[in-house]
């Protein structure tokens, strides 16, 4: 659902506040443009959150894999060290 901004309502309120027609139109248009450019909809937030969640899950999986590789390498190094120490004794 897109954000809805009633420029006519703003225009009418500004005219009712004794602003000229041209000024009221311009102010209402500036509001509309600003809202369209900067307002975030719920759908946009939900989509962005899903993207961020997917990226986080991917990064966590990569970290998990790196940790498993590191631990496996340390176990091999430990076994080699123990083997070398046993041969020396």
Q: In this predicted model, what pLDDT tens digit does every residue of 29-83 receive, in sequence order?
A: 898 888 887 788 888 899 999 999 999 999 999 999 999 999 999 999 999 999 9
pTM of the model: 0.52
The per-residue pLDDT for 1 is 46
Tokens found for residue 15: 């005219």
How many helices (DSSP H) and strands (DSSP E) are in the chain?
Answer: 3, 0
Q: Which residue has the higher pLDDT, 88 or 4?
A: 88
Tokens found for residue 51: 């993207």
């Amino acid at each position: 659902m897109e954000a809805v901004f009633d420029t006519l309502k703003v225009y009418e309120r500004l005219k009712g506040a004794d602003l000229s027609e041209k000024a009221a139109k311009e102010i209402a248009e500036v509001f509309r443009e600003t809202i369209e450019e900067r307002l975030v909809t719920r759908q946009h937030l939900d989509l962005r959150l899903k993207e961020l969640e997917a990226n986080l899950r991917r990064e966590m999986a990569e970290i998990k894999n790196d940790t498993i590789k590191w631990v496996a390498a340390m176990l091999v190094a430990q076994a080699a060290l123990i083997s070398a120490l046993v041969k020396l004794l």
